[in-house]
A and B are shown apart, each in its own frame.
Chain A
Amino acid sequence: MPGYANNPPRNSHFPQAEVPAVHLQDVSKHFGSIEAVNHVSFHVVGGSIVGLVGSDGAGKSTLLRMIAAMVRPSSGTIQIHGLDAASHKTGIKPLIGYMPQRFGLYLDLTVEENIEFFMDVFGVFGAERAKRKERYLGFSNLLPFIDRLAGALSGGMKQKLGLACVLAHEPKVLILDEPTNGVDPVSRQEFWGILGQMRQEGMAILISTAYLDEGEQCDQLVLMHKSRVLEVATPEAVQSHYSSLEEAMIHRIQEVDEGLMHEQFGL
């Protein structure tokens, strides 16, 4: 697979474009009789952060895994920069950086060896390799720990190293599944600092999170509950007249649950 190394030059004015970076059209996924994702449509443009929020088991991880071409949708289409995710699996992987919920780093490899492995796979060599190592480990404040084994890092540092690894091939779409779960507030802030920088550079970022203060930093929120998308809107619009985002979300979710109760039991 030649050509990974020849990514187009970084462009700070990424075309916010006719073709969205991620485009979902009526996407569903069921495992046997269980509906995990139910007729979901939305899109993410370059240079924006879209937050996926909602209750546990709402189908966020499954949705993200489908976008990262890890599982095929049962129906509907997912396009990454115009390429169909299901049929161009190998073609879109260089475009994506995906950090799974339980991101596996190699704990017996050093910080440097971990990021080098990702660059090896994507064929990043030569001067570019040194530059990117410097840049992405620098972002994460990991340069002083370059020779430390990944297993000896704190939880927050591990997540930042994970982020540096998935950024090292300079993807156009970043998919992060609850990357800051259980991470201390300072590391979380640093993590979001990096995301902000990437947004400025035109990256499309899709992140699921359980922290609603993080939700407020997104450009768009996708509110999911029981495998459906309830709302796609800016954090302000989701919050509307409620005092906090959290209150607004709980209210919306309860509304839906009551509606379902009525449907099912005719209450």
Chain B
Amino acid sequence: MNPVIIKAIARKEFYHLVRDFRSMYLAFMIPLLLILMFGYALSLDVDSVRTVVVDHDKTEVSRDFVRKLNASSYFEITHHLNDSSTAVRYLDQGLTTMAIVIPPEWTEDLKADRTASLQVLIDGSDPNFAGISRGYITAFVEAYNRDRLISFLNRKGMEVIKPPVDGRIRVWFNEDLDSRNFIVPGIIAIIIMIVGAMLTSLVIAREYENGTMETIRSLPVGGGELLLGKAIPYFLIALIDVLVAVFMGQVLFGVVMKSSFSLLVLASTIYISVALSLGLLISIATKSQLVANQMAILITFLPSLLLSNFVFPVGNMPRIFQLLTCIIPATYFIDILNGIYLRGLGIAHLWPSYLVLVGMLIVLSNIGFALLRREGM
């Protein structure tokens, strides 16, 4: 390994990178867009459900119910409508997510000790959102019932019945159940795969396609020098992207790391190297930019997104997919990042994941090296 040659290759590769618009776009714009999209638009939390109310009853009690609904932070009443058909139209046109219809004589039913029904219509086209909305309204109605029951018993001078079981739920590690806390680590893992593996999957294939591989082979450049030289510019870009993601997570979303920054940099360094070796390996094996790019999407980007416990919980997957997640580098990296971000764990708890990533790095880079050697490098 001659550092002069590695530097020569890295410098040339850097020129290629900055002159290629698509690469630059992938390297800098896509990470920014991903952070903003996942952070803002694709937030998995439901802050408040947009609701329209049709109050046919129009009594003090029904108005009080609506007031309480609006006062809760889970619902945002956008319109008061006069009839159900308008409410349905609002749902149809996507102007609202939930419609609550209070039937006539609702208060009378309540007072007469009959079950007073309340109609709730929820837009189910987004099942995740609909499920959360249903949970919110169910909990709200239950609380309303309990309040009414208690005040009724109080008025009658009877002893207040305590609920037999009161589940006290406390969420650990992500106290506010804020999905952004979970998304930032996942995003970092995805960005590294895009920059690391998808971009580098092109670099050796490009030399083959342009006929410059023959030139390289005629020079005193070894396989290791070629791989390392090509990896360096992409390594730096990926590291910059990680720092930008961490910074944006902190500034825009207030996602603060609980554990040490150096552990994050160490994990990122190893994981970037894994992604780079994977990308280079694909590039050497396919020798075609088009095929390499498809392969990279298929075996690096998609599994990192789908099978890494980031978007879809591994626990709910069929057994075969659960086993598959064990060979995906992103699984271990996200595990480390969650430890660092959410649990404040140190190296004492995280070292097994670090070790797996280092193992993957050694295996992948050696395969790539062996393939290049077979090509006569």
Contacts and interface: CB of A to CB of B under 8 A. Distances in A.
Interface of A: 1, 4, 68, 70-71, 90, 93-94, 96, 98, 100, 102-109, 113, 117-118, 120-123, 166
B209 to A, nearest CB: 9
Given A90-B220, A106-B16, A107-B210, A100 B215 contact: yes
A109 B12 contact: yes
Interface stretch (B1-9, B148-156, B309-317): B1-9
Given A1-B220, A93-B220, A104-B211, A121 B8 contact: yes
Interface string B1-45: 010110111011001100110000000000000000000000000
Contact of B376 (A4, A71, A94, A106): A71
B213 interface: yes
Nearest to B20: A108
B219 A100 contact: no
A64 B356 CA distance: 46
5 contacts: A1-B2, A100-B218, A102-B211, A102-B214, A121-B4
B213 to A, nearest CB: 7
B219 to A, nearest CB: 5
A70 B211 contact: no
Nearest to B221: A121
Given A108-B19, A120-B4, A70 B12 contact: no
Given A103-B211, A104-B211, A70 B218 contact: yes
Interface string B313-342: 000000000000000000000000000000
B212 interface: yes
B219 A118 contact: yes
A42 B375 CA distance: 29
Contacts of A98: 218
| Max chain A Cβ within 10 angstroms of own Cβ: one of B7, B16, B207, B219 | B219
A115 B266 CA distance: 37
A103 B221 CA distance: 17
A100 B217 CA distance: 10
Contacts of B211: 100, 102-104
Nearest to B225: A121
B5 to A, nearest CB: 6
Interface residues of B, number: 26
B220 A120 contact: no
Given A100-B214, A102-B214, A106-B212, A121 B219 contact: yes
B5 A121 contact: yes
A68 B215 CA distance: 11
A120 B7 contact: yes
B18 to A, nearest CB: 10
A122 B20 CA distance: 26
Contact of B218 (A93, A106, A108, A123): A93
A68 B218 contact: yes
A122 B212 contact: no
Interface in B283-312: none
Contacts of B215: 100, 103-105
Contact of A104 (B9, B12, B212): B212
Contact of A117 (B2, B12, B20, B214): B12
A98 B218 CA distance: 6
Given A104-B207, A120-B5, 19 more contacts: A4-B220, A68-B218, A70-B214, A90-B220, A93-B219, A93-B220, A100-B214, A100-B215, A100-B218, A102-B211, A104-B211, A104-B215, A108-B15, A109-B16, A118-B219, A120-B7, A120-B12, A121-B221, A122-B220
A4 to B, nearest CB: 8
Contacts of B376: 70-71
Interface string B197-211: 000000000010011
A104 B212 CA distance: 4
Contacts of A108: 15-16, 19-20
A166 B7 CA distance: 19
A43 B67 CA distance: 101
A89 to B, nearest CB: 9
A111 to B, nearest CB: 13
A73 B303 CA distance: 45
A93 B376 CA distance: 14
